[in-house]
Amino acid sequence: MAVLLGDNFEYFLVISTKKMIYYSDKVNPKWVHGTLVVLVLLGLCALPVRAERMRVATYNIKFFSIRHSPCGRLPVEDVRTQGTRLEKLREVIRLLDAQVIGLEEIDDRQALEQLFDPKHWTLVIDDDSKDCQDVALAVRHPLKVRGFTPPNFDADEGNFLAAGEPDEFFPRRRDLLAVEVETAGGHRMWVLVHHAKSRAEGRVDSDGRRAGAAQRIVALLRDRLGDQPLALVGDFNDSPDDRALNILESGDTHAEALMEDEPDTFLANLTEPLFAADRVSFGRNSANIDGNRVVTVAPGTRQRNFELRHTNMNTGDLLFDQILVSPELAAAYVKGSAGIFDQPVAVRGNDRDRASDHLPVYADFDFAGQPAAVSASMVPAIPVPTFPVRPVVPQVTVPSPVAPKALAQAVVQGAEGLRIAALLPDPEGADEGHEQVTLENTSAAVVALKGWKLRDRSGKEYLLSDSVKGGHQLVLTLPAGTLSLNNAGDEVVLISPQGQERQRVGYKAGQVKSGKPIVFTIP
């Protein structure tokens, strides 16, 4: 950047580069105006593509709460009474300078708001969970969180990819929070927050639970998120060489623990090179401060972790906190940017007032030059649409594009021709109260909808009313609080008055486009 500064006809040329600022001697005022024109033109020519850089981080904030209560067998203390802990945490977040942060061991929203100002951050957490070790996501403005209706960012069943999975693999409410984030430039990515079973009960004794969770995550990603750009972040309670992480990196559910540095084929572990250099994120304290940095190298930790893999022995400080990305997001990764936060404020103090026993781990992404709305590179629709759905308006019947010409109408209760023709999970604007289901009656008779209902994957139901003429469609706008259509993928079941499942349709995240219905054809 170049700027001319002047006062009383004495001008100085100031040239700013990325690393230095240069000041000239006095400049002859006779060529000031010409120089200004040239500089402006050069500046306009050199304007870069709009920056779309983003830092994604994961941070386990040990038992972060604002109440005094036990968490299982462990006592939990109000962070506001833990000396300077809250101030240290605020400084960590400020210095980390991340736009998206996956969080673990969070009690509730009230605790989060002590650390993240809701005026500047969108906070996604399950407000109904009674667990003190919830996962959460903090997204800094102006980034947007999709799939929620502001100001309600309460995560429900539909926002957890592993909802309904066994507690053995996903303890309590740690059901893999899945949130779609959008940049100001329209780039979208999914952020999934994971907190695996700890090693506290013995590493080898609990290894199967972490590996089992990894196997289920691989299956869920393949089934629900297809080829979406996504980041899987969290506290994995295992190293990049352990079985669970090798399953996630390779997509091979039979993968074993192995010290390897081979290219990842399913999810790229951006933090694996850190562990190869014996870098750690868990277990550091004030004794590890050296000058103005935390020493994050623990010599021999990788080898020791591998050699003791079949035991319950403590392997010391490790890299538990990791960031893995799909190939679609890896293209935007800033090579070599993955790091471990090493500012002393993160480890100063004792067990009571230290910010946490974990250090944040982060990676940078740059979407400049990437096509906007990356999530438009979608998996094929299931089934592939063969006819358009007419413009959707609440509770309106329209002629079916595939139905035969309507004959004399007769009201019937259990017509075979009633089916789900389309779903609109992502309407333009707010989702809640605007999502739509299109029903179609392919028979010639009127179908009375009393007693029929729709049910989503989480078990929420919507009772139907009204009727559908033969050869017509009925567009239903789902009221807020009833079943919801999850942008991460969902299923909807049509149930008859007799309680029989008449139709089940499903879609994946890759099929979801803003304002575009997902159409289901007749087989």
pLDDT tens-place string over residues 24-77: 444 454 444 454 444 444 444 444 444 689 999 999 999 999 988 777 667 788
Residue 51 has a pLDDT of 60
What is the distance between the alpha carbons of residues 243 and 258, in angstroms, rounded to a whole number? 7
Q: Where are the domains of the chain?
A: 2-45, 53-376, 396-519
Task: Name the percent of the chain in helix, strand, coil, to the closest 5.
Answer: 20, 30, 50
Residue 396 has a pLDDT of 39
396-519 in CATH: which number?
A: 2.60.40.1260
Cβ atoms within 10 Å, residue 391? 9
Residue 35 has a pLDDT of 47
Residue 188 has a pLDDT of 96
Which residue ranges of the chain lie beneath pLDDT 50?
Answer: 1-27, 29-33, 35-50, 374-415
Spatial contact of 369 and 74, defined as CB atoms under 8 Å apart:
no
Rg from Cα positions in the chain: 27
Question: Are the folds of 53-376 and 396-519 the same?
Answer: no
What is the distance between the alpha carbons of residues 202 and 213, in angstroms, rounded to a whole number? 17
Non-local CB neighbours of 289 within 8 Å, separated by 6+ positions: 295, 344, 347, 348
Q: What's the predicted TM-score (pTM) here?
A: 0.71
Q: Is 53-376 a CATH 1.10.540.10 domain?
A: no
Identify whether 151 is preceded by a cis peptide bond (ω within 30 of 0): yes
Residue 470 has a pLDDT of 83
The gap between the terminal CA atoms of the chain, to the nearest Å, is 62
Residue 109 has a pLDDT of 94
Residue 510 has a pLDDT of 81
